[in-house]
Each structure stands twice: as C-alpha cells, then as structure tokens.
C-alpha cells in the first residue's frame, strides 16, 4: 500500500494531465472545435471593427454590378450568335428582343419588342440561332406577336433535305414536333435535316426547322417522324424577323399548308 501511494505521488499528476489532454482532444474532434471557435470569437470581438453602413452599401453595389456584368455578357453572346447566323444565311432582318412570354403559353406564342415602327408586318418570318421559330400574326406600333412552330395549331409544309420527301409538321406544345409524310414509304432516318418545303405557302423554302429524332413507318394513316427543333425555342431571348414575300395563291385567298 505504501509503495502504491509513493508511485501515485510521483505519477498521479502526470496521469491526470494526460487524461485531461486526451479527453479534450476527443471532445474537440467530436465537436469539430466549435467551442474553441466560439471562445476565439468572444475574445477577439472587441478588437473587430464593425463594417459601416457605407461599406455594406458599397458591397451590395459591387454584387449588383457583377450580376449586371454577367447578364450583359450572356446577352452579348446570344446576340453574337444571332448575328453570325444572320450573316451565314445572308438574310436582311430586324433583330428583336423577346419581351413577353406567358408560362401558360410558353410553347405557343411570344411577344417581341419591335413593331410596325421598325418595319415589321404580319406574315414576316421569325428565326433564331438554329432555324425557324415562327411567324408574325399581329403587330402594334411597338410590339409583335409570334405564333411559334411548337404551337399545336401550327401546320408547316416541310421536307427531308437529304431525300426530298415531303409532308407537314405539326407542333406538340414542346421542343419537338411531328412530321406526317405524304408518301407511304418515305426515305427518312434519324439525323436527317428538316427544312421548310417549296410547297409551303407561309414560309419561304429552305429554312432549317429541325432534325429527325425517330421514325415510325407503321403509323396510320401515314408514316410519322419526331422532329426536334434546331432553334432552342424554349430558351431564346433574341430573334431575327425576316420579310416574307407572299405567293400569288396567298394573295388571292387560297389557304393550304403553312
């Protein structure tokens, strides 16, 4: 007993300190040093300068300017792509912003921030980066309303660019449409480019419309193909409005396919 007491007198303090160190280490690990952080914050708080109202306003202003810069860069990229598309197609057109779009009619109609004062008329063609978007159906001095190709009421005469097989395309209220062929056994396959047909009366021939995604040759009463629009109809912010020369049949009142 005497020997044990002498050993404890010599080593007891060391054992207690080691136990405390080990326990503290385990506690810090479990709490991820949260207590130490709070103590540090409490001790250093008197020495930390509170940001002034002016500094806070300046920080908020910087965030706002950075957000505006990002938005302007995004718009600039979209306009650049649209102008490159316009140059590649060598079409004279009016660049117009999309200023109105209802969530309930997202795939049906859009409103442009250009109108008759800018030279836009009913029947003009609306294109975006990638291809045709729709056509102007009404105009005010400062705005224009566009019927999109994706509208279920839209019917467009189209052709398969590779094989020249024709049909008409109807909107599906989304980013895709369905093409119904005139021929019972058309030469069509996924990846084929679809463009406006020479027999389309409301669109000039040769405008890109989309790409064939799938084909159903067993569909009745006529074979069908699912078409994905080449223009990102759901994400456009700027478009180009192009003059459309009506055909004689349209002028005298005949109303075939668009």
CATH of the domain at 155: 2.40.10.340
Does 51 reside within a domain? no
**What is the tally of structural domains in the chain?**
2
Does 145 reside within a domain? yes
Tokens of 28: 């810090």
**Between residues 69 and 202, which one has the greater pLDDT?**
202
Residues 98 and 200 in one domain: yes
Query: CA 38, CA 6: separation in Å to the nearest integer?
Result: 42
Structural domain span for residue 19: 2-42
Give the pLDDT band (50/70/90) at residue 25.
low
Structure confidence at residue 224 (pLDDT): 95
Query: CA 249, CA 17: separation in Å to the nearest integer?
Result: 101
105-117 pLDDT per residue, tens: 888 999 999 999 9
Does 219 reside within a domain? yes
Does 50 reside within a domain? no
219-244 pLDDT per residue, tens: 888 899 999 998 888 888 889 999 88
Dihedral (CA of 120, 125, 126, 127) sign: negative
Q: What is the pTM of this model?
A: 0.62
Structure confidence at residue 250 (pLDDT): 38
């Amino acid at each position: 007993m005497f020997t044990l007491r002498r050993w404890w007198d010599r080593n007891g303090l060391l054992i207690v300190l080691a136990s405390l160190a080990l326990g503290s280490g385990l506690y810090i690990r479990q709490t991820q040093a949260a207590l130490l952080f709070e103590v540090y914050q409490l001790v250093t708080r008197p020495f930390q300068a509170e940001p002034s109202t002016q500094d806070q306003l300046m920080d908020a202003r910087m965030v706002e300017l950075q957000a505006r810069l990002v938005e302007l860069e995004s718009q600039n990229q979209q306009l650049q792509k649209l102008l490159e598309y316009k140059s590649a197609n060598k079409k004279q057109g009016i660049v117009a912003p999309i200023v109105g779009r209802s969530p309930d009619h997202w795939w049906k109609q859009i409103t442009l921030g250009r109108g008759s004062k800018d030279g836009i008329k009913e029947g003009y063609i609306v294109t975006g980066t990638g291809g045709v978007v729709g056509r102007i159906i009404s105009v005010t001095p400062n705005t224009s309303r566009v019927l999109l190709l994706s509208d279920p009421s839209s019917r467009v005469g189209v052709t398969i660019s590779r094989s020249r097989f024709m049909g008409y395309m109807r909107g599906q209220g989304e980013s895709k449409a369905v093409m119904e062929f005139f021929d019972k056994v058309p030469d069509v396959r996924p990846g084929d480019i679809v463009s406006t047909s020479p027999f389309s009366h409301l669109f000039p021939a040769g405008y890109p419309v989309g790409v064939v995604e799938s084909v159903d040759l067993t569909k009745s009463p006529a074979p069908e193909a699912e078409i994905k629009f080449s223009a990102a109809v759901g994400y456009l912010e700027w478009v180009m409005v192009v003059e459309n020369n009506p055909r004689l049949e349209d002028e005298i009142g005949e109303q075939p396919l668009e």
